Structure 1
């Protein structure tokens, strides 16, 4: 093989450095955090050979059209002082305890409303049994959105259930994330389309963007006929039923809600659908649910003007007075959430976090390990779940508040992904969540403050290196 001329090699090197400088300027102007901007700028200027290609996949942010749609819909449909919203709040007055979360309501432009029936779905079997029962009872339309849909036994069961409803005249709309469901074969969607189901891949651009791994749609939403909704941490795949070692048994949680907040659940779906298809959906108003619980649907994402997911956690943590119990598969908090957790300890709050003992993403696990040890030194009690992989995203605050949704405590959820959760104020529901979490924590091994010193020195170096990648995790 002939050697490349020195002049050509020099030209290629200069071209790479020039491209790195251009990309560094883009990163400086568009990266959401100073830490991320510093990391990208130095990497792109000094080592463009290694960082330029990853930046094409991770650094691009091309969904200004989506942001404009999102902001216009917020301004038009979600004003807390709008007469329609005021009338709704008068009809469904929230629990007095909602006052301590009003910053979340104001930030998202979504009201706390009472009148909800809530149902905790503790594992994958219970969740999908309830979801399939709801699908089978749909009369008018179904909204189905998951980050991951696999073409396995569970995925084909969902496919068959949707085809059956479409054949019965029900309008069926399906969204899945293009990266999360990267291995979903085209035949899966083709079969659904042939049977009358409308199915689309979510992307931050309406056409396929091969150079965009960030800004994924991590939401899991099912709505039946506008009045019965599901939200939580489960995707569609056999592993979520605990059928795939080595992560089995898989621990996850979903919930069902009926009541006025279902309107906000389906509004989040409709916004995603309108972005992909250009067409809004015809949706029905929720039916009265004859329940007492207060709920708010928090739909967050990188199209928001603020970092709403991070601020959601910060405000929720600050609201805790006696107890804050969290479960998350990925413990990579930003500085604001980290500080809020430590301040809660100083207020005398019982702060406990349950994280996995086994890794599904090695680098995230390593970074989580360091954050866990640092929080333990600050007085937070952290447990590693022993039976299998814990994927649930649940938060319990004091004796009356519990959230179930898709939000992780990592940079992807806090800043990069579209997420959704239901924040619920109801002592009965919170009691059910407490019972569930007590059983989960009982199956965890608590991290001791001296455990860090027992780690091998090279492993300690490795977890510190992994933390440097926190803005990308």
Structure 2
């Protein structure tokens, strides 16, 4: 009898292994990670896989939300933006005919927009003050979407201002991610709702778990005021983003405010997310006003998620570089294609420099990041650890183009999270981002290969284990 139980358990285990291999045969890295979890936790591991590893396209409810109305509206918006691009405004940068520019011009999601003005914020205090000032001046609507919202001092400032604007008759809509803002109390939301603020939770954790979509998180950070000014970047709403968390100290981030046609697409991103959560179609022209900006910057908003990944763009930025490739990221977990592209860039003689934090906020991700350092150092890349505090900035500079926003240089951001980035073509914006990069470089310590190879064996073991599980981060 005991032998039969052993045989049954063994058969069940084999079936679980076979299921993962069959379902993940297209994603071998994830298959290996899940098999490791299954071997470590035989029953629990498969249950975890069942609830969190389901492909995004398998969700019928999500597929139904791909409304034709949005596609028609997007086509009209694209046509409208193209009408605003005068022939004499088209700069040589946008018209280059290399593979990267061809990709950017032919991306199916959002086109290159003109008539933009961009302001860059390298610190949270400046960015938040600009957001709060813009919100205070709102006359018609305020749209806010963040991965993390905290009920702390900074969160209270936003809360009180949003309540005041709602009481003044301004339409206020707030979206937050169910997982990232899981600690946000009901009292905070109730105070907003009682004042007339509409709120929405992107995939509430419990419902998302049983609907097998817990693994898909909305990592975007958006503020749109009256459809005329938009904010995006790496900051969430919380005191730590002001450098007030003793565990991290100074918080280095990159955030942007924009005026011009790019704002229309930040707005479009928010309202499609609002539709996904609330099933409300909002396409009235008052939310997409004619932009008053007389700027001459070209900007492309890049909306990505499990159904429209940013991976192709990141890969193209790397392989198209001819002279320089500068990367800042809090999490460095490249997939095999990105890793090969970086090695190829280094071997080709391109100046590849990567800044990562010296102080980790997630140790397993930190060890996974370090596992990629040695082989890239051996290839000739240069790595630096930021020393002043925590580096949360997400920037890629490839020759005379830059990409920045909410997406990290990791597999989750590439394929599993809803992100919002911007590609910048304007020389002044690029120059400012390069200046910020070299300022961060001066506050960083370079990782030298001979010293790095001497790290303790226990750390190397942690790196190996973290790297094996990295496709699931």
**Same structural fold, with TM-score higher than 0.5 when normalized by the shorter chain:** yes
Which residue is 2:163 aligned to? Answer: 163
Q: Deviations over 1:118-174 (max 9, x none)?
A: 100110001101100110111111110000000111111111111111111111111
Please state whether the residue corresponding to 1:122 is helix, strand or coil.
strand
Greater Cα shift, 208-217 or 441-450: 208-217
C-alpha deviation, 1:320, in angstroms? 2.1
1:291 to 268, 289, 295: 295
CA contact (8 A) 1:370 1:467 kept: yes
**2:5 alignment partner, one of 5, 10, 14:** 10
The answer as to whether partners of 1:20 and 1:48 remain within 8 angstroms in 2 is: no
Question: CA 1:199–1:30 in structure 2 vs 1: closer, same or farther (change >3 Å)?
Answer: farther
Aligned to 2:271: 270
Other-structure match for 2:348:
347
Q: 1:129 to 1:188 in 2, by over 3 A?
A: same
Q: What SS class does the counterpart of residue 229 from structure 1 fall into?
A: strand
Q: Is the 8 A contact 1:94 1:112 kept in 2?
A: no
Query: What pairs up with 1:162-201 in 2 under 5 angstroms?
Result: 162-201=162-201
- The answer to which of 382-391 and 91-100 deviates more is 91-100
1:65 aligns with 2:69: no
User: How far apart, in 1, do the equivalents of 2:344 and 2:195 lie?
Assistant: 54
Provide the residue aligned with 1:440 in structure 2.
Answer: 440
Per the normalisation by structure 2, the TM-score is: 0.90
Change (3 A) 1:298 1:179: same
**Aligned ranges for residues 101-180 of structure 1 at < 5 Å?**
101-180=101-180
Which one has the bigger strand percentage? 2
- Structure 1 position 301 matched with structure 2 position 305: yes
Equivalent residue number for residue 202 of structure 1? 202
The C-alpha deviation readout for 1:167-213, integer Å capped at 9, x for no partner, is 11111111000000110011111110100000111018995545543
Unaligned runs of 5+ in 1: none
Cα deviation, residue 52, structure 1: 1.9
Deviates more, 1:421-430 or 1:316-325: 316-325
Root-mean-square deviation (CA, aligned residues, Å) is 2.8
The 2-side partners of 1:156 and 1:32 are apart by: 46
Cα distance in 1, alignment partners of residues 143 and 20 from structure 2: 37
**Does residue 404 in structure 1 map to residue 398 in structure 2?**
no
Distance 2:154 2:191 in 1: 16
By how many angstroms is 1:245 displaced? 1.2
- Looking at structure 2, the residues matched to 81 and 118 of structure 1 have their Cα atoms a distance apart, in angstroms, of 21
TM-score (normalised: structure 1):
0.90
C-alpha separation in 2, matches of 1:20 and 1:189: 47
**Aligned pairs, how many?**
463
Matching residue of 1:87 = 83
Do the aligned residues in 2 keep the contact of 1:118 with 1:258 (CA within 8 Å)? yes
Moved more, 318-327 or 406-415: 318-327
Q: Is it true that 1:40 corresponds to 2:39 in the alignment?
A: no
Aligned counterpart, 2:72? 76
Whether the 8 Å contact between 2:135 and 2:225 is mirrored in structure 1 is yes
- Any conservation in 1 of the 2:20–2:34 contact (CA below 8 Å)? no
Greater CA drift, 36-45 or 74-83 = 74-83
Alpha-carbon distance in structure 2 between the residues aligned to 1:20 and 1:424: 50
